[in-house]
Amino acid sequence: MSMEAKLLAAAAKTGVPVPEIVVASDDPAVLGASFLVMTHVDGETIPRRILRDDEFASARPKLAAQCGTVLAALHRIPIDAVPELVGEDQVAQYRAVLDTVPEPHPTFELAFRWLEANRPTPLADVVVHGDFRNGNLMIGPDGVRAVLDWELAHLGDPMEDLGWLCVKAWRFGVPKPVGGFGDYDELIDAYEAAGGGPVDRDALHWWETLGTLKWGIMCIMQAFTHTSGAVRSVELAVIGRRVRETEYDLMRLIA
């Protein structure tokens, strides 16, 4: 929690909209566990409402560009602001996770081969949010009000955040490729205009493909948590059906 508090404070300094930190502590003697208290930010995080309700009709056309601007600011966070952050090769990380599952997934194996064969030239490490997507953004009628859920932050390629935002799962049934609310050009143009650096379209496609594979593996692991008996949960079981959706998405992405 203290690391997340540092991140939020550093993000605010670079212009990322975030809640203000009231107090944070990792000392269990205070409240019995680590905790983080933030100021209230009014808005909505449920994608179905953001993408469909009339209340957010004026916000939707702005969101892709706003996300590009926010991500450019986020990637300006000094990497020494939170020394605890580390980086790891994402392909190797999720390869290791999938290898723990006692069942075959040929489509994912094919995706791993494609990713290894088409790796883009890596960019210099920046602070990566790790879960920047529709659902982790507080949205109001005026657009993005706060970036939430920083617990997956790490050091890595800035294109990881842009690619994750474009993963089909985060479009929630709406065809627009950026979070269900915008197009690639809107995101990229705003990111570059805000000083985020040039975006290689092929590299963005690679990171979107890796993000799709990651989400598929996450779905496997959540379903396996149920089927193994570790945690009995209808929600976890139902998430398993989404593995097939990601297999279909991956075949289209690497075609």
Of the listed ranges 11-15, 17-21, 155-159, 231-235, the least confidently predicted one is 231-235
Amino acid 224: pLDDT: 87
Q: Is residue 63 a part of any domain in this protein?
A: no
Alpha-helix residue ranges (DSSP H) falling in 144-200:
159-165, 184-193
Q: Is residue 255 a part of any domain in this protein?
A: yes
Q: Is residue 155 a part of any domain in this protein?
A: no
Q: Is residue 212 a part of any domain in this protein?
A: yes
Q: Write out the residue range of the structural domain in which residue 106 sits.
A: 88-123+200-255
pLDDT confidence of 10, banded at 50, 70, 90? very high
Q: What is the mean pLDDT of the chain?
A: 96
What confidence tens digit (pLDDT) does each residue in 12-25 have?
999 999 999 999 99
Provide mean pLDDT across the span 236-255: 94
Q: Which helix (DSSP H) or strand (DSSP E) does residue 115 occupy? A: helix 106-117
Residue 144 pLDDT exceeds 90: yes
What confidence tens digit (pLDDT) does each residue in 38-93 have?
999 999 999 999 999 999 999 999 999 999 999 999 999 999 999 999 999 999 99
Q: What is the DSSP string of 196-208?
A: -----HHHHHHHH
Q: Of all residues in the chain, what percent carry a pLDDT higher than 70?
A: 100
Q: Is residue 234 a part of any domain in this protein?
A: yes
Provide mean pLDDT across the span 191-195: 98
Q: Is residue 14 a part of any domain in this protein?
A: no
Q: Is residue 41 a part of any domain in this protein?
A: no
Nearest to 216 by CA among 67, 112, 118: 112
**Exposed/middle/buried for 209, CB within 10 Å: 0-12, 13-18, 19+?**
buried
Q: Model pTM greater than 0.85? A: yes
Q: Is residue 219 a part of any domain in this protein?
A: yes
Please say whether the beta carbons of 123 and 158 come within 8 A.
Answer: yes
Provide mean pLDDT across the span 225-243: 90
Tell me the two tokens of residue 209: 């493909």
pLDDT confidence of 183, banded at 50, 70, 90? very high
pLDDT confidence of 200, banded at 50, 70, 90? very high
Residue 140 pLDDT exceeds 90: yes
Domains identified in the chain, total number: 1
Amino acid 102: pLDDT: 85
